[in-house]
Structure 1
Amino acid sequence: MIALFDIDKTLIHRSEVHEEAFSYAFREVYGVDATVDLIDYHGKTDPAIAREVLGLLGLESEDINEGMDDFLHELAVYVEKNIQYDDIRLIDGVMGFLEALRSINAWMGIVTGNLEEIAFMKLERAGIAGYFSFGGFGSDSPIREELTEIAVKRGTERCASGRIVLFGDTPHDMMAGAHVGALKIGIAAGRYGEAELRRAGADHVFRDYLNPEIMSIVTSEQF
Protein backbone atom coordinates (compact mmCIF):
# COMPACT_ATOMS: atom_id res chain seq x y z
CA MET A 1 0.00 0.00 0.00
CA ILE A 2 1.08 3.56 -0.77
CA ALA A 3 -0.14 6.20 1.69
CA LEU A 4 0.19 9.81 0.54
CA PHE A 5 -0.18 12.76 2.92
CA ASP A 6 -0.56 16.49 2.51
CA ILE A 7 1.33 18.39 5.24
CA ASP A 8 -0.43 21.55 6.45
CA LYS A 9 -3.67 20.83 8.35
CA THR A 10 -3.24 17.15 7.47
CA LEU A 11 -0.10 16.17 9.41
CA ILE A 12 0.61 19.45 11.21
CA HIS A 13 -1.55 22.36 12.30
CA ARG A 14 0.49 25.17 10.72
CA SER A 15 3.94 26.61 10.16
CA GLU A 16 4.02 30.28 11.07
CA VAL A 17 7.56 30.57 9.69
CA HIS A 18 6.47 29.34 6.26
CA GLU A 19 3.75 31.99 6.17
CA GLU A 20 6.22 34.67 7.28
CA ALA A 21 8.62 33.54 4.56
CA PHE A 22 6.17 34.60 1.86
CA SER A 23 5.98 38.14 3.22
CA TYR A 24 9.77 38.30 3.47
CA ALA A 25 10.31 37.04 -0.08
CA PHE A 26 7.63 39.36 -1.51
CA ARG A 27 9.52 42.34 -0.04
CA GLU A 28 13.01 41.14 -0.95
CA VAL A 29 12.33 40.18 -4.55
CA TYR A 30 9.33 42.21 -5.69
CA GLY A 31 9.43 45.13 -3.28
CA VAL A 32 5.83 44.71 -2.15
CA ASP A 33 4.26 44.27 1.27
CA ALA A 34 1.88 41.32 1.11
CA THR A 35 0.78 38.22 2.97
CA VAL A 36 -0.71 34.95 1.80
CA ASP A 37 -3.91 35.92 3.60
CA LEU A 38 -4.79 38.14 0.64
CA ILE A 39 -6.05 35.00 -1.13
CA ASP A 40 -7.56 31.62 -0.36
CA TYR A 41 -4.23 29.77 -0.40
CA HIS A 42 -5.37 26.48 1.15
CA GLY A 43 -4.44 23.48 -0.99
CA LYS A 44 -2.44 25.51 -3.51
CA THR A 45 1.25 25.23 -4.36
CA ASP A 46 3.88 27.72 -3.21
CA PRO A 47 4.55 29.01 -6.76
CA ALA A 48 0.83 29.29 -7.51
CA ILE A 49 0.20 31.16 -4.25
CA ALA A 50 2.97 33.63 -5.05
CA ARG A 51 1.70 34.24 -8.58
CA GLU A 52 -1.88 34.75 -7.41
CA VAL A 53 -0.91 37.25 -4.71
CA LEU A 54 1.38 39.19 -7.03
CA GLY A 55 -1.24 39.23 -9.78
CA LEU A 56 -3.78 40.57 -7.30
CA LEU A 57 -1.35 43.38 -6.48
CA GLY A 58 -1.21 44.32 -10.15
CA LEU A 59 2.19 42.98 -11.18
CA GLU A 60 2.55 41.95 -14.81
CA SER A 61 3.12 38.29 -15.67
CA GLU A 62 6.49 39.09 -17.23
CA ASP A 63 7.72 40.75 -14.03
CA ILE A 64 6.39 37.89 -11.91
CA ASN A 65 8.12 35.29 -14.09
CA GLU A 66 11.39 37.20 -14.07
CA GLY A 67 11.61 37.16 -10.28
CA MET A 68 10.05 33.78 -9.49
CA ASP A 69 13.24 31.72 -9.19
CA ASP A 70 14.72 34.30 -6.82
CA PHE A 71 11.45 34.43 -4.89
CA LEU A 72 11.38 30.66 -4.33
CA HIS A 73 15.04 30.72 -3.30
CA GLU A 74 14.41 33.46 -0.72
CA LEU A 75 11.33 31.60 0.51
CA ALA A 76 13.40 28.50 1.28
CA VAL A 77 16.29 30.49 2.77
CA TYR A 78 13.98 32.25 5.22
CA VAL A 79 12.43 28.97 6.36
CA GLU A 80 15.85 27.35 6.77
CA LYS A 81 17.08 30.24 8.93
CA ASN A 82 13.98 30.39 11.12
CA ILE A 83 12.45 26.89 11.27
CA GLN A 84 14.19 26.28 14.61
CA TYR A 85 11.89 28.87 16.17
CA ASP A 86 8.69 27.44 14.66
CA ASP A 87 6.12 25.93 17.01
CA ILE A 88 4.85 23.10 14.84
CA ARG A 89 2.25 20.80 16.38
CA LEU A 90 1.05 17.51 14.98
CA ILE A 91 -2.60 16.77 14.30
CA ASP A 92 -3.88 14.51 17.09
CA GLY A 93 -2.98 10.87 16.57
CA VAL A 94 -0.52 11.40 13.71
CA MET A 95 2.49 9.73 15.32
CA GLY A 96 0.59 6.61 16.35
CA PHE A 97 -1.04 6.32 12.95
CA LEU A 98 2.27 6.63 11.09
CA GLU A 99 3.73 3.97 13.36
CA ALA A 100 0.78 1.70 12.59
CA LEU A 101 1.32 2.17 8.86
CA ARG A 102 5.01 1.44 9.25
CA SER A 103 4.17 -1.78 11.10
CA ILE A 104 2.29 -3.09 8.06
CA ASN A 105 5.11 -2.03 5.69
CA ALA A 106 3.14 0.72 3.99
CA TRP A 107 5.15 3.11 1.83
CA MET A 108 4.49 6.65 2.99
CA GLY A 109 4.93 9.71 0.80
CA ILE A 110 4.09 13.39 0.70
CA VAL A 111 1.82 15.29 -1.69
CA THR A 112 2.14 18.99 -0.92
CA GLY A 113 2.23 22.37 -2.54
CA ASN A 114 5.30 23.16 -0.41
CA LEU A 115 8.67 23.26 -2.11
CA GLU A 116 10.44 19.96 -1.38
CA GLU A 117 13.13 21.46 0.82
CA ILE A 118 10.57 23.43 2.83
CA ALA A 119 8.36 20.36 3.19
CA PHE A 120 11.15 18.31 4.74
CA MET A 121 12.31 21.14 6.99
CA LYS A 122 8.79 21.29 8.43
CA LEU A 123 8.57 17.52 8.79
CA GLU A 124 11.97 17.44 10.51
CA ARG A 125 10.86 20.16 12.92
CA ALA A 126 7.70 18.16 13.65
CA GLY A 127 9.74 14.98 14.25
CA ILE A 128 8.17 12.87 11.51
CA ALA A 129 10.43 13.27 8.46
CA GLY A 130 11.79 9.74 8.89
CA TYR A 131 8.47 8.19 7.92
CA PHE A 132 8.55 9.63 4.40
CA SER A 133 10.90 8.60 1.60
CA PHE A 134 9.34 10.20 -1.50
CA GLY A 135 6.66 12.59 -2.65
CA GLY A 136 5.36 15.18 -5.09
CA PHE A 137 5.99 18.82 -4.27
CA GLY A 138 5.28 22.38 -5.35
CA SER A 139 8.82 22.43 -6.73
CA ASP A 140 7.86 19.57 -9.08
CA SER A 141 4.80 21.29 -10.52
CA PRO A 142 2.57 24.27 -9.68
CA ILE A 143 -0.44 22.07 -10.52
CA ARG A 144 -1.77 19.82 -7.75
CA GLU A 145 -2.88 16.99 -10.01
CA GLU A 146 0.53 16.85 -11.69
CA LEU A 147 2.55 16.76 -8.48
CA THR A 148 0.22 14.05 -7.18
CA GLU A 149 0.89 12.02 -10.31
CA ILE A 150 4.61 12.46 -9.67
CA ALA A 151 4.22 11.24 -6.08
CA VAL A 152 2.35 8.14 -7.27
CA LYS A 153 5.01 7.40 -9.89
CA ARG A 154 7.78 7.68 -7.30
CA GLY A 155 5.80 5.52 -4.89
CA THR A 156 5.11 2.76 -7.38
CA GLU A 157 8.84 2.58 -8.13
CA ARG A 158 9.21 1.44 -4.50
CA CYS A 159 6.00 -0.52 -4.00
CA ALA A 160 4.50 -2.72 -6.71
CA SER A 161 1.05 -2.63 -5.13
CA GLY A 162 -1.46 -0.43 -6.91
CA ARG A 163 -3.32 0.45 -3.71
CA ILE A 164 -3.11 4.17 -3.02
CA VAL A 165 -4.61 6.08 -0.10
CA LEU A 166 -4.46 9.88 -0.04
CA PHE A 167 -4.97 12.04 3.05
CA GLY A 168 -5.69 15.76 2.75
CA ASP A 169 -7.62 18.64 4.25
CA THR A 170 -8.82 20.58 1.20
CA PRO A 171 -11.04 20.02 -1.83
CA HIS A 172 -7.90 20.38 -3.98
CA ASP A 173 -6.45 17.32 -2.23
CA MET A 174 -9.58 15.28 -2.79
CA MET A 175 -9.77 16.16 -6.47
CA ALA A 176 -6.10 15.32 -6.96
CA GLY A 177 -6.71 12.01 -5.21
CA ALA A 178 -9.54 11.22 -7.60
CA HIS A 179 -7.24 12.10 -10.49
CA VAL A 180 -4.88 9.24 -9.52
CA GLY A 181 -7.60 6.79 -8.47
CA ALA A 182 -6.78 6.89 -4.75
CA LEU A 183 -8.96 6.14 -1.77
CA LYS A 184 -9.50 9.67 -0.49
CA ILE A 185 -9.56 10.39 3.25
CA GLY A 186 -10.34 13.93 4.30
CA ILE A 187 -8.87 15.34 7.50
CA ALA A 188 -11.18 18.11 8.67
CA ALA A 189 -8.61 19.86 10.85
CA GLY A 190 -8.45 23.06 8.86
CA ARG A 191 -10.72 25.41 6.97
CA TYR A 192 -12.91 22.77 5.33
CA GLY A 193 -15.52 20.64 7.07
CA GLU A 194 -16.88 17.21 6.29
CA ALA A 195 -19.58 18.40 3.88
CA GLU A 196 -17.14 20.37 1.72
CA LEU A 197 -14.61 17.54 1.62
CA ARG A 198 -17.26 14.99 0.69
CA ARG A 199 -18.57 17.25 -2.08
CA ALA A 200 -15.05 17.33 -3.43
CA GLY A 201 -14.92 13.54 -3.49
CA ALA A 202 -13.69 12.39 -0.07
CA ASP A 203 -14.59 8.75 0.56
CA HIS A 204 -14.26 9.19 4.33
CA VAL A 205 -13.68 12.20 6.59
CA PHE A 206 -12.17 12.37 10.10
CA ARG A 207 -11.16 15.26 12.34
CA ASP A 208 -7.87 13.60 13.32
CA TYR A 209 -6.19 10.18 13.47
CA LEU A 210 -7.46 9.01 16.84
CA ASN A 211 -10.39 7.02 15.45
CA PRO A 212 -9.31 3.37 15.00
CA GLU A 213 -11.73 3.09 12.09
CA ILE A 214 -9.19 4.86 9.86
CA MET A 215 -6.77 1.96 10.05
CA SER A 216 -9.54 -0.50 9.31
CA ILE A 217 -10.50 1.48 6.22
CA VAL A 218 -7.01 1.81 4.77
CA THR A 219 -6.23 -1.88 5.25
CA SER A 220 -9.54 -3.09 3.89
CA GLU A 221 -9.47 -5.23 0.78
CA GLN A 222 -12.68 -3.57 -0.44
CA PHE A 223 -11.02 -0.76 -2.38
Structure 2
Amino acid sequence: MRPTVLLFDIDGTLVTTGGAGRRSMEAAFEKLHGRRDACDSFPMSGMTDRAIVRKAMHIIGVEDSAAAIDAVIDAYVAHLAEEVHKVDDQRYLVFPGMREAVKEARSRSGFAVGLGTGNVREGARVKLERVSIYDQFDFGGFGCDNEDRTELIRCGAKAGAAKLGVPVEECRVVVIGDTPKDVHAAQGVGAECIGVGTGTFSVQALLDAGATVAFPDFSHPQALEILLGGR
Protein backbone atom coordinates (compact mmCIF):
# COMPACT_ATOMS: atom_id res chain seq x y z
CA MET A 1 0.00 0.00 0.00
CA ARG A 2 1.18 3.53 -0.78
CA PRO A 3 2.21 5.77 2.12
CA THR A 4 -0.97 7.55 3.20
CA VAL A 5 -1.58 11.08 4.48
CA LEU A 6 -4.94 11.65 6.18
CA LEU A 7 -6.14 15.24 6.64
CA PHE A 8 -9.18 15.69 8.88
CA ASP A 9 -11.30 18.83 8.89
CA ILE A 10 -12.46 19.96 12.35
CA ASP A 11 -15.83 21.75 12.48
CA GLY A 12 -18.67 19.54 11.31
CA THR A 13 -16.27 16.66 10.63
CA LEU A 14 -14.39 15.74 13.80
CA VAL A 15 -16.46 17.77 16.25
CA THR A 16 -19.40 20.03 16.81
CA THR A 17 -18.61 22.93 19.12
CA GLY A 18 -22.20 23.92 19.85
CA GLY A 19 -21.70 27.25 18.09
CA ALA A 20 -18.66 28.30 20.13
CA GLY A 21 -16.70 29.35 17.05
CA ARG A 22 -19.37 31.65 15.63
CA ARG A 23 -20.08 33.24 19.01
CA SER A 24 -16.36 33.87 19.52
CA MET A 25 -16.04 35.50 16.10
CA GLU A 26 -19.07 37.68 16.85
CA ALA A 27 -17.51 38.71 20.17
CA ALA A 28 -14.22 39.59 18.46
CA PHE A 29 -15.95 41.88 15.96
CA GLU A 30 -18.01 43.47 18.70
CA LYS A 31 -14.89 44.18 20.76
CA LEU A 32 -12.80 45.63 17.93
CA HIS A 33 -15.39 47.14 15.57
CA GLY A 34 -18.63 47.40 17.56
CA ARG A 35 -20.35 45.06 15.09
CA ARG A 36 -21.43 41.74 16.53
CA ASP A 37 -23.50 41.23 13.37
CA ALA A 38 -20.52 41.34 10.98
CA CYS A 39 -20.85 37.66 10.03
CA ASP A 40 -24.64 37.38 10.10
CA SER A 41 -25.21 37.51 6.35
CA PHE A 42 -23.12 34.52 5.24
CA PRO A 43 -22.48 30.89 6.23
CA MET A 44 -19.02 30.15 7.62
CA SER A 45 -19.02 26.44 6.74
CA GLY A 46 -15.86 25.45 4.89
CA MET A 47 -14.31 28.93 5.02
CA THR A 48 -10.89 29.61 6.51
CA ASP A 49 -10.77 31.85 9.58
CA ARG A 50 -8.92 34.59 7.73
CA ALA A 51 -11.36 34.44 4.80
CA ILE A 52 -14.26 34.78 7.26
CA VAL A 53 -12.69 37.85 8.84
CA ARG A 54 -11.86 39.42 5.47
CA LYS A 55 -15.40 38.93 4.15
CA ALA A 56 -16.95 40.32 7.33
CA MET A 57 -14.66 43.36 7.15
CA HIS A 58 -15.79 44.02 3.58
CA ILE A 59 -19.42 43.79 4.68
CA ILE A 60 -19.06 46.31 7.50
CA GLY A 61 -16.74 48.55 5.49
CA VAL A 62 -13.50 48.42 7.44
CA GLU A 63 -9.94 48.01 6.20
CA ASP A 64 -8.87 44.40 5.69
CA SER A 65 -5.12 44.83 6.10
CA ALA A 66 -3.10 41.86 7.36
CA ALA A 67 -2.62 43.61 10.71
CA ALA A 68 -6.34 44.32 11.07
CA ILE A 69 -7.20 40.69 10.27
CA ASP A 70 -4.57 39.47 12.74
CA ALA A 71 -6.13 41.63 15.46
CA VAL A 72 -9.56 40.08 14.94
CA ILE A 73 -8.10 36.57 14.84
CA ASP A 74 -6.23 37.18 18.11
CA ALA A 75 -9.40 38.47 19.78
CA TYR A 76 -11.36 35.54 18.37
CA VAL A 77 -8.95 32.93 19.77
CA ALA A 78 -8.96 34.64 23.18
CA HIS A 79 -12.77 34.51 23.29
CA LEU A 80 -12.79 30.94 21.97
CA ALA A 81 -10.56 29.74 24.82
CA GLU A 82 -13.33 30.80 27.22
CA GLU A 83 -16.36 29.99 25.08
CA VAL A 84 -15.56 26.29 24.52
CA HIS A 85 -15.86 25.69 28.27
CA LYS A 86 -19.32 27.26 28.42
CA VAL A 87 -20.79 24.59 26.12
CA ASP A 88 -22.01 21.43 27.85
CA ASP A 89 -20.85 17.97 26.83
CA GLN A 90 -24.17 17.14 25.15
CA ARG A 91 -23.59 19.91 22.59
CA TYR A 92 -19.79 19.86 22.33
CA LEU A 93 -18.75 16.43 21.15
CA VAL A 94 -16.73 14.25 18.78
CA PHE A 95 -18.85 12.76 16.00
CA PRO A 96 -19.55 9.00 15.94
CA GLY A 97 -16.67 6.83 14.77
CA MET A 98 -14.09 9.59 14.61
CA ARG A 99 -12.07 8.77 17.73
CA GLU A 100 -11.91 5.14 16.64
CA ALA A 101 -10.90 6.01 13.06
CA VAL A 102 -8.10 8.32 14.18
CA LYS A 103 -6.83 5.79 16.71
CA GLU A 104 -6.84 2.94 14.19
CA ALA A 105 -5.09 4.98 11.50
CA ARG A 106 -2.42 6.09 13.96
CA SER A 107 -1.73 2.45 14.81
CA ARG A 108 -0.99 1.56 11.18
CA SER A 109 2.47 1.69 9.67
CA GLY A 110 2.72 4.00 6.68
CA PHE A 111 -0.02 6.39 7.83
CA ALA A 112 0.40 10.03 8.80
CA VAL A 113 -2.64 11.46 10.58
CA GLY A 114 -3.07 15.22 10.50
CA LEU A 115 -5.51 18.10 10.21
CA GLY A 116 -6.72 19.93 7.12
CA THR A 117 -8.71 22.83 8.52
CA GLY A 118 -9.58 26.45 7.95
CA ASN A 119 -9.01 27.08 11.64
CA VAL A 120 -5.85 28.90 12.57
CA ARG A 121 -3.53 26.56 14.46
CA GLU A 122 -4.27 28.00 17.89
CA GLY A 123 -8.01 27.87 17.28
CA ALA A 124 -7.69 24.23 16.23
CA ARG A 125 -5.81 23.46 19.43
CA VAL A 126 -8.44 25.13 21.61
CA LYS A 127 -11.35 23.36 19.91
CA LEU A 128 -9.81 19.89 19.96
CA GLU A 129 -8.24 20.04 23.42
CA ARG A 130 -11.77 20.62 24.75
CA VAL A 131 -12.53 17.00 23.77
CA SER A 132 -9.00 15.64 24.42
CA ILE A 133 -8.19 14.77 20.81
CA TYR A 134 -5.73 17.45 19.66
CA ASP A 135 -2.70 15.36 20.62
CA GLN A 136 -3.77 12.68 18.13
CA PHE A 137 -2.72 14.88 15.20
CA ASP A 138 0.99 15.30 14.53
CA PHE A 139 0.83 17.98 11.82
CA GLY A 140 -1.61 19.79 9.60
CA GLY A 141 -2.55 22.41 7.08
CA PHE A 142 -4.20 25.34 8.87
CA GLY A 143 -5.99 28.56 8.07
CA CYS A 144 -2.88 30.46 9.16
CA ASP A 145 -0.81 28.62 6.53
CA ASN A 146 -2.91 29.97 3.69
CA GLU A 147 -6.24 31.75 3.32
CA ASP A 148 -7.09 29.53 0.35
CA ARG A 149 -8.33 26.10 1.38
CA THR A 150 -6.70 24.25 -1.51
CA GLU A 151 -3.32 25.69 -0.61
CA LEU A 152 -3.60 24.87 3.08
CA ILE A 153 -4.49 21.29 2.13
CA ARG A 154 -1.38 21.27 -0.04
CA CYS A 155 0.63 22.42 2.99
CA GLY A 156 -0.86 19.63 5.09
CA ALA A 157 -0.16 17.00 2.44
CA LYS A 158 3.48 18.07 2.21
CA ALA A 159 3.83 18.05 6.00
CA GLY A 160 2.37 14.54 6.15
CA ALA A 161 4.68 13.29 3.42
CA ALA A 162 7.66 14.75 5.27
CA LYS A 163 6.50 12.91 8.38
CA LEU A 164 6.54 9.68 6.38
CA GLY A 165 9.89 10.52 4.81
CA VAL A 166 8.69 10.27 1.21
CA PRO A 167 7.87 12.76 -1.57
CA VAL A 168 4.25 13.89 -1.50
CA GLU A 169 3.87 12.65 -5.10
CA GLU A 170 4.32 9.09 -3.83
CA CYS A 171 1.56 9.40 -1.22
CA ARG A 172 -2.11 8.62 -1.19
CA VAL A 173 -3.67 11.78 0.27
CA VAL A 174 -7.17 11.66 1.74
CA VAL A 175 -9.16 14.67 2.93
CA ILE A 176 -12.01 13.96 5.35
CA GLY A 177 -14.55 16.79 5.39
CA ASP A 178 -18.17 17.86 5.58
CA THR A 179 -18.49 20.62 2.97
CA PRO A 180 -18.13 21.00 -0.80
CA LYS A 181 -15.19 23.32 -0.06
CA ASP A 182 -13.37 20.33 1.47
CA VAL A 183 -14.16 18.31 -1.64
CA HIS A 184 -12.94 21.01 -4.01
CA ALA A 185 -9.75 21.55 -2.02
CA ALA A 186 -9.02 17.82 -2.19
CA GLN A 187 -9.62 17.83 -5.93
CA GLY A 188 -7.30 20.81 -6.26
CA VAL A 189 -4.35 18.79 -4.96
CA GLY A 190 -5.32 15.48 -6.57
CA ALA A 191 -6.44 13.92 -3.29
CA GLU A 192 -9.32 11.64 -2.43
CA CYS A 193 -12.13 13.06 -0.32
CA ILE A 194 -14.28 11.14 2.13
CA GLY A 195 -17.35 13.22 2.87
CA VAL A 196 -19.32 13.04 6.10
CA GLY A 197 -22.87 14.30 6.50
CA THR A 198 -22.32 15.50 10.05
CA GLY A 199 -22.19 19.18 9.12
CA THR A 200 -24.69 21.26 7.17
CA PHE A 201 -24.44 19.33 3.88
CA SER A 202 -26.07 16.02 3.05
CA VAL A 203 -24.27 12.92 1.83
CA GLN A 204 -25.81 13.47 -1.60
CA ALA A 205 -24.64 17.09 -1.74
CA LEU A 206 -21.08 15.96 -1.01
CA LEU A 207 -21.25 13.26 -3.68
CA ASP A 208 -22.66 15.78 -6.14
CA ALA A 209 -19.71 18.06 -5.34
CA GLY A 210 -17.34 15.24 -6.30
CA ALA A 211 -16.49 13.44 -3.06
CA THR A 212 -14.85 10.07 -3.67
CA VAL A 213 -17.31 8.53 -1.21
CA ALA A 214 -19.55 9.94 1.52
CA PHE A 215 -21.20 8.57 4.65
CA PRO A 216 -23.73 9.90 7.17
CA ASP A 217 -20.97 9.60 9.78
CA PHE A 218 -17.92 7.47 10.51
CA SER A 219 -19.86 4.81 12.36
CA HIS A 220 -20.81 3.47 8.91
CA PRO A 221 -19.22 0.00 8.56
CA GLN A 222 -17.42 0.88 5.31
CA ALA A 223 -16.03 4.24 6.38
CA LEU A 224 -12.98 2.96 8.25
CA GLU A 225 -12.26 0.33 5.60
CA ILE A 226 -12.13 2.95 2.84
CA LEU A 227 -10.15 5.37 5.00
CA LEU A 228 -7.49 2.71 5.44
CA GLY A 229 -7.34 1.94 1.74
CA GLY A 230 -9.88 -0.80 1.14
CA ARG A 231 -12.74 -0.52 -1.36
**TM-score scaled by length of structure 1:** 0.91
Provide the rounded CA distance (Å) in 2 between the counterparts of 1:95 and 1:221.
19
Unaligned runs of 5+ in 2: none
Which residue identity does 2:72 align to in structure 1?
A: F
Partner residue, 1:116: 121
Give the CA deviation at 1:221.
6.2
Partner residue, 1:46: 49
1:196-220: CA deviation from partner (whole Å, max 9, x where unpaired): 2112210100111112212221333
Give the CA deviation at 1:110.
0.6
Matches within 5 A, 1:117-136: 117-136=122-141
Partner residue, 1:64: 64
1:35-61: CA deviation from partner (whole Å, max 9, x where unpaired): 53420211001111112122223x04x
Partner residue, 1:213: 222
Provide the rounded CA distance (Å) in 2 between the counterparts of 1:67 and 1:30.
10
Which residue identity does 1:139 align to in structure 2?
A: C
Provide the rounded CA distance (Å) in 1 between the counterparts of 2:227 and 2:27.
40
What is the DSSP-based 3-state SS (H/G/I as helix, E as strand, rest coil) of the residue aligned with 1:64? coil
Provide the rounded CA distance (Å) in 1 between the counterparts of 2:176 and 2:217.
11
Matches within 5 A, 1:31-180: 31-34=34-37, 36-57=39-60, 59-60=61-62, 63-65=63-65, 67-87=68-88, 88-105=92-109, 106-159=111-164, 160=166, 162-180=171-189
Superposition RMSD on alpha carbons, in Å?
A: 1.7
Partner residue, 1:30: 33
**TM-score scaled by length of structure 2:** 0.88
Provide the rounded CA distance (Å) in 2 between the counterparts of 1:166 and 1:64.
30
Which residue identity does 1:112 align to in structure 2?
A: T
Whether the 8 Å CA contact 2:121–2:143 is kept in 1: the answer is yes
Whether the 8 Å CA contact 1:168–1:174 is kept in 2: the answer is yes
Provide the rounded CA distance (Å) in 2 between the counterparts of 1:3 and 1:153.
11
Matched, 1:192 2:201: yes
Provide the rounded CA distance (Å) in 2 between the counterparts of 1:136 and 1:109.
8
